[in-house]
A and B are shown apart, each in its own frame.
Chain A
Amino acid sequence: MKAVIDVRDLVKTYGEGEATVHALAGVSLTINRGDYVAIMGSSGSGKSTLMHILGCLDIPTSGSYLLDGVDVSRLNDRQLALVRNRRIGFVFQAFNLIPRTSAVANVELPLAYAGVKASVRRKRALAALDMVGLGNRADHDPNQLSGGQQQRVAVARALVSEPALLLADEPTGNLDSKSTADVLAVLDQINREGRTIVLITHEDEVAHHARRVIRLKDGEIMSDVRQRAIQDERDEVPSWA
Chain B
Amino acid sequence: MGLMEIFKFALRGISANKLRSSLTMLGILIGVGAVILLVAVGNGSKVEVEKSLQGLGTNTLTVSSGRAIRSSTYSTDLTLSIVEALKDKNAAPDILSVSPVVQSSQTLTYGSTDHTTTVIGTSTDYIQASSGKIATGEAFNADDAAKAERVLVIGQTTATELFGNEDPLGKQVSVGGQIFTVIGTLQKKGSTGFNDPDDTAIAPLSAVQRALTGYGPVNSITIEAVSADAVSAAQAEATAILNTKMHVTSTSNTPYQIRSASQLLETRTATAETFTTLLGAVAAISLLVGGIGITNIMMVTVTERTREIGIRKALGAPRRVILTQFLLEATMLSLVGGLLGVAGAFIGANFQITGITPVIVPSSVVLALGVSVAIGLFFGSYPASRAAGLRPIDALRYE
Instruction: Summarize B's interface: helix, strand, loop or mixed.
Output: helix
C-alpha spacing A147/B365, complex, angstroms:
51
A113/B16 in contact, CB under 8 A: no
Is B314 in the interface zone, CB < 8 Å from A? yes
- A219 nearest CB across to chain B (Å): 17
Q: Does A225 contact B (CB under 8 A)?
A: no
Task: Report the minimum CB–CB distance from B142 to chain A (whole Å).
Answer: 86
Contact with A77, one of B1, B12, B319 (Cβ below 8 angstroms): B319
Q: Is B311 a contact partner of A96 (Cβ separation < 8 A)? A: yes
CB <8 Å contact, A113 and B315: yes
Q: For the complex formed, measure the closest distance between the CB of A82 and the CB atoms of chain B, giving whole angstroms.
A: 7
Q: A78, B318: Cβ atoms under 8 Å?
A: yes
| Alpha-carbon distance A212/B41, docked complex (angstroms) | 77
Partner of A112, one of B9, B308, B310: B9
Of the listed stretches B130-138, B222-230, B277-285, B390-398, name the one at the interface; the rest are far from the partner chain.
B390-398
CB of B17 closer than 8 Å to a CB of A: yes
Tell me the bound Cα distance from A110 to B315 in angstroms: 5
Verify B315–A85 contact, CB threshold 8 A: yes
Q: Is A105 an interface residue (CB 8 A)?
A: yes
Shortest Cβ distance from A103 into chain B, in angstroms?
A: 14
How far, in angstroms, from A149 to B56 measured CA to CA in the complex?
A: 81
Chain B interface size range = 20 to 34
B315 and A109 contact, CB distance less than 8 A: yes
> When the two chains form the complex, which single residue of B12, B310, B316 contacts A101, counting CB atoms closer than 8 Å?
B12
Q: Contact between B1 and A115 (Cβ–Cβ < 8 Å)?
A: yes
Q: Report the minimum CB–CB distance from B389 to chain A (whole Å).
A: 9
Give the contact stretch, choosing among A55-63, A172-180, A227-235.
A55-63
Residues in B359-380 with C-beta less than 8 Å from chain A: none
Q: Is the CB of B314 within 8 A of A55?
A: yes
Q: Which residues of B contact A110 (CB under 8 A)?
A: 315-316
Q: Is the CB of B393 within 8 A of A84?
A: no
Is B317 interfacial (CB 8 A cutoff)? Answer: yes
Q: CB-CB < 8 A to B16: which residues of A? A: 99-101
How far, in Å, is A23 (CB) from chain B's closest CB?
12
Q: Give the contacts of A42-92 with B (CB-CB under 8 A).
A: 52, 55-59, 77-78, 81-86, 90, 92
Could you list some 6 contacts between A and B, CB below 8 A? A56-B392, A57-B396, A86-B316, A92-B314, A113-B317, A115-B1
List residues of chain A with CB under 8 Å of any chain B CB.
52, 55-59, 77-78, 81-86, 90, 92, 96-101, 105, 109-110, 112-115, 118, 157, 161
